[in-house]
């Protein structure tokens, strides 16, 4: 297949691009704006592969999107492009609205205009160019007990999740109104290599390795459903190839853990000290627990392979061994962000 992967210079998009190119023989064109979270370094092992192409551009820019479609002549568009950090959405929601609402709209319009032009006639579907929207369990809001299914109502809590939910509704409207062959895949909390260190796991790993404090929001008893990024990327590929048009598929990880358990395990794995753990002011509107049922995507033949205990150990090892990837981040824009967010400097 020929794929246009929007937001492919980010954490999960780069994992997906690598997986599709190396394990499925797809041709991959990445379209990415290169925001603070987008890093060409995360794709550097793919550069030079004849099946790979990188284009810098924003999904809310119709000319950039049209140019990327002309270059890629895709059978499918997979949209990872997003602002993804809940804390940033609370401080500055503007970019979240622009990328999730306007950006998704521009992509859907482009997909609609090019639906009949894919080279293979849409091997994965019947109607030509397929569209897969990558989404999140956060659109369902928080759940104290039980798990969310695809039928659960949308009840987002933050500007991040509300704008992601809005994008999902727009995607569904393009299926219902225009019969655009669109699908949605909603994932739970991802972890693994190449994740920007504003998110819990890489932030705690790097702070632990540097002797900095480990800032736990509130009581640290919030629960997340962890999925390794290679497993989520595989679920998205599965939905792309085998999913039914117009449908939503949840992809949750095999393990749920309280934040404090995750942080204590990182302390052990890095040889840091418990005294580095510091309880700080809670995130406003903080969701207490996420939990996803993945029965529907499992019925398509997907299941997660990486258990959290083993995946976390590998992730700590990856950050320990790949200074080249994170060192420029810790000395750049991230330092100013960190000071604003936590009211203290990094070492």
- Span 205-244, contacts to ligand DAU by CB under 6 A: 215-217, 222, 224
Q: What six digits make up the tokens of 159?
A: 């500007």
Q: How many other CB atoms are there within 10 angstroms of residue 90's CB atom?
A: 17
User: Residue 228: which of 204, 246, 252, 247 has the closest Cα?
Assistant: 252
Confirm or reject binding of residue 10 to ligand NAD (CB under 6 A). Answer: yes
- Span 135-174, contacts to ligand NAD by CB under 6 A: 136, 164
- Identity of the residue, 65 or 272, whose beta carbon is nearer to ligand NAD in the bound complex: 65
- Span 23-62, contacts to ligand NAD by CB under 6 A: 32-35, 37-38, 58-60
Cα 252 from Cα 248, distance rounded (Å): 13
Q: What six digits make up the tokens of 237?
A: 């590929």
Contact 215, 342 (CB under 8 A): yes
Contact 122, 181 (CB under 8 A): yes
- Identity of the residue, 53 or 330, whose beta carbon is nearer to ligand DAU in the bound complex: 330
Confirm or reject binding of residue 182 to ligand NAD (CB under 6 A). Answer: no
CB of 212 to ligand NAD, least distance (A): 22
The pattern of x and - marking residues 293 through 312 that bind ligand NAD according to CB under 6 A reads --------------------
DSSP classification of residue 101:
I
CB of 185 to ligand NAD, least distance (A): 8
Confirm or reject binding of residue 312 to ligand DAU (CB under 6 A). Answer: no
Confirm or reject binding of residue 12 to ligand NAD (CB under 6 A). Answer: yes
Per-residue burial over 199-213, b if 16 or more Cβ lie within 10 Å, else e, is bbbbbbbbbbbeebb
Residues with a known catalytic role: 137-138, 160
CB of 274 to ligand NAD, least distance (A): 26
Confirm or reject binding of residue 157 to ligand DAU (CB under 6 A). Answer: no
H/E run at residue 339: helix 333-342
Could you give the 3-state DSSP secondary structure of residue 131?
strand
Residue tagged 């002011």 (tokens): 281
Binding-site ranges for ligand DAU (CB under 6 A): 84-86, 136-138, 188-189, 199-200, 203, 215-217, 222, 224, 259, 283, 290
């Amino acid at each position: 297949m020929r794929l246009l992967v929007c937001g492919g210079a980010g954490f999960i998009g780069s994992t997906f691009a690598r997986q599709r190119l190396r394990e499925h023989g797809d041709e991959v064109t990445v379209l990415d704006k290169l925001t603070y979270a987008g890093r060409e370094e995360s794709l550097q092992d793919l550069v030079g592969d004849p099946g790979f192409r990188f284009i810098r551009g924003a999904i809310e820019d119709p000319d950039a999107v049209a140019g990327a479609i002309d270059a890629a002549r895709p059978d499918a568009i997979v949209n990872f492009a997003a602002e993804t950090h809940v804390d940033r959405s609370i401080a500055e929601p503007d970019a979240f609205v622009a990328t999730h609402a306007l950006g998704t709209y521009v992509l859907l319009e482009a997909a609609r205009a090019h639906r009949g032009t894919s080279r293979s006639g849409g091997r994965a579907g019947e109607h030509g160019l397929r569209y897969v929207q990558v989404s999140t369990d956060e659109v369902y809001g928080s759940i104290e007990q039980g798990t969310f299914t695809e039928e659960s109502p949308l009840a987002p809590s933050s500007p991040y999740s509300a704008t992601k939910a809005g994008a999902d509704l727009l995607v569904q409207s393009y299926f219902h109104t225009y019969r655009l062959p669109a699908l949605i895949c909603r994932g739970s909390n991802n972890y693994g290599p190449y994740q920007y260190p504003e998110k819990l796991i890489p932030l705690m790993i790097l702070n632990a390795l540097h002797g900095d404090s480990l800032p736990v929001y509130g009581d640290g008893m919030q629960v997340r459903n962890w999925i390794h990024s290679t497993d989520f990327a595989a679920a998205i590929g599965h939905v792309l190839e085998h999913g039914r048009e117009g449908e939503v598929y949840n992809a949750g990880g095999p393990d749920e853990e309280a934040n404090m358990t995750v942080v204590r395990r990182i302390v052990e794995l890095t040889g840091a000290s418990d005294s580095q753990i510091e309880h700080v002011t809670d995130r406003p509107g903080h969701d207490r627990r996420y939990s996803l049922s993945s029965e529907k995507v499992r019925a398509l033949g997907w299941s997660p392979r990486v258990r959290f205990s083993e995946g976390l150990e590998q992730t700590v090892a990856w950050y320990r061994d790949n200074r080249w990837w994170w060192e420029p981040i810790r000395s750049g824009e991230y330092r100013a962000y960190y000071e604003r967010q936590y009211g203290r400097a990094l070492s």
